[in-house]
Amino acid sequence: MKTLTSTEELQAFCEAAAQHPYVTVDTEFLRERTYYSKLCLIQLAFSGDGENDAVLVDPLAEGISLEPLYDLFRNENVVKVFHAARQDLEIFWVDAQVFPKPLFDTQVAAMVCGFGEQAGYETLVRKIVKQGLDKTSRFTDWSRRPLSEAQKTYALADVTHLRKIYEFLAAELDKSGRAHWVTEELQVLTDPATYDIRPEDAWKRVKTRTTSGKFLAVVRELAAFRESYAQTNNVPRNRVFKDDALVELASTKPRNPGELGGSRLLLREARKGAIAEGILQAVAKGVACPAEKQPKMDRSKEKLQVNPALADLLRVLLKAKTEAEGVAAKLIAPSADLDAIAAGLRDVPALSGWRREVFGADALRLCDGEIGLAAKGQDVKVVEL
């Protein structure tokens, strides 16, 4: 197997790949010690089974530029095939503000083709390629050099098997006419907003039972400081301070280093220096926040007047539709969306796009009393009223 360590080698491979209808892509990275993923290896393969049709690219090699790969990503004549692409795409977006187009994600396609919710790569290899995978190298340190032969073999298998998986799923989508379902699902993955983590919104991910505006104002400022510090210093946010410590600080509201030192949950490194100073400033800013600018929890869905009988009927309809179509139910509508529809909300994903074709249109007709449901043997049928 070949490992590319120079821009010239990568350029030659990408030019060859551009002559093929698709290229499969995967990455190996580390994120345990950094805020942003550290790209350690790229695997590429195009159609065929020749010795040079699949390669490893070492992004840590001295002097290598990934621009030839990014040019290939911009080439819309070549489909870029990933499995569970979100983290891979984030790496390339952060590094070069580029998204592979057109994009094909085999995990999304597998859900549409009836392989269940979030079908794993190993499952698809077993069911489609009819082979097993050696996962012993999965959790190794990909930043260390030289890579072992076992690591290289494991990494390359992630793109060589992907060729057959892509060809099988693409053919299935063509037969079923569902290719536009996958295209619709992938739009969020190529939206820059998906990867834009704004410090001022970080508080929304912090779990707390307290809904007081004064308390949430301090939570917001502490979460914003933590996110900004983590991004600037490229460290995991939990290395700055963890959520439980953040909630404790929002409750105790320390005003000086002495009070800050009394925290039970704060890491030792956070009790001094720039982090300690940032915490005290964030607490002070949150405490001083006027009432009209204090954040509020979105409790709108908690106040919905859900018709429980209608919600149950929608669940039966969803089960019948997904069994008939061979699609994972949660891909169409999670339970909360069904309750929202039963409460009268119409701004729900299940009521638009391809989901409307499969389920949403009949869900609305059920709500409006235009159809009913009837059991016939093991099946549930839609009955016109």
- Dihedral of alpha carbons 303, 307, 308, 310, sign: negative
* Residue partners of 200: CB distance under 8 A and separation at least 6: 220, 224
CATH of residue 355? 1.10.150
Reported as a single tens digit per residue, the pLDDT across 44-67 is: 999 988 888 999 999 999 999 999
Instruction: Express each pLDDT in 191-250 by its tens digit.
Output: 999 999 999 999 999 999 888 999 999 999 999 999 999 999 999 999 999 999 999 999
> How far apart (Å, rounded) are the C-alpha atoms in residues 74 and 209?
46
- Asked which of 195, 219, 242 is the last residue of a domain, the reply is 195
Last residue of a domain, one of 168, 195, 222: 195
351 with 203, same domain? no
| End-to-end C-alpha distance for the chain, whole angstroms | 64
Residue 240: closest CA among 268, 262, 264: 268
50 and 146 co-located in one domain: yes
pLDDT at 230: 98
Q: What is the pLDDT of residue 329?
A: 86
pLDDT level of residue 1 (50, 70, 90 thresholds)? confident
Examine the domain organization and report whether 335 and 266 are in the same domain: no
pLDDT above 70 covers what percent of the chain? 98
| Residue percentage of the chain with pLDDT more than 90 | 85
Give SS3 for 40.
Answer: strand
The verdict on 260 and 326 lying in the same domain is no
Dig out the tokens for 378 from the structure.
């093991």
Q: Map residue 271 onto helix, strand or coil.
A: helix
* Token pair recorded at residue 162: 């992907």
Residues 157 and 46 in one domain: yes
Question: How does residue 362 score in pLDDT terms, banded at 50, 70 and 90?
Answer: very high
Pair type for strands 38-46 and 103-105: unpaired
Q: What is the pLDDT of residues 158-208, one digit of tens each?
A: 999 999 999 999 999 999 999 999 999 999 999 999 999 999 999 999 999
pLDDT digits over 327-351, tens only? 888 889 999 999 999 999 999 999 9
* The pLDDT value given to residue 51: 80
| 158 and 217 belong to one structural domain | no
User: Residue 378: CB partners within 8 Å, gap ≥ 6?
Assistant: none
315 and 379 belong to one structural domain: yes
Is the pLDDT assigned to residue 303 strictly greater than 70?
A: no
- Domain range enclosing 145: 2-195
* Residue 59: CATH number of its domain: 3.30.420.10
Q: Which residues does residue 379 pair with via DSSP β-bridges, in sequence order?
A: 376
How many independent structural domains does the chain possess?
3
Q: Which two tokens stand for residue 287?
A: 């405490």
Q: Domain check: are 90 and 115 in the same one?
A: yes
pLDDT digits (tens, 9 = 90+) for 129-164: 999 888 778 889 999 999 999 999 999 999 999 999
Domain CATH number, residue 259: 1.10.150.80
For residues 79 and 49, state if they share a domain.
yes
User: Is residue 70 located within the same domain as residue 39?
Assistant: yes
Mean pLDDT for the stretch of residues 14-42: 97
Residue where one domain finishes, among candidates 172, 195, 218: 195
342 Cβ contact partners less than 8 Å away, ≥ 6 residues apart: 306, 307, 308, 310, 311, 314, 367
pTM of the predicted protein model: 0.89
> Are 204 and 188 in a shared domain?
no
What is the C-alpha separation between 318 and 234, in angstroms, rounded?
44
Q: Do 115 and 127 fall into the same domain?
A: yes
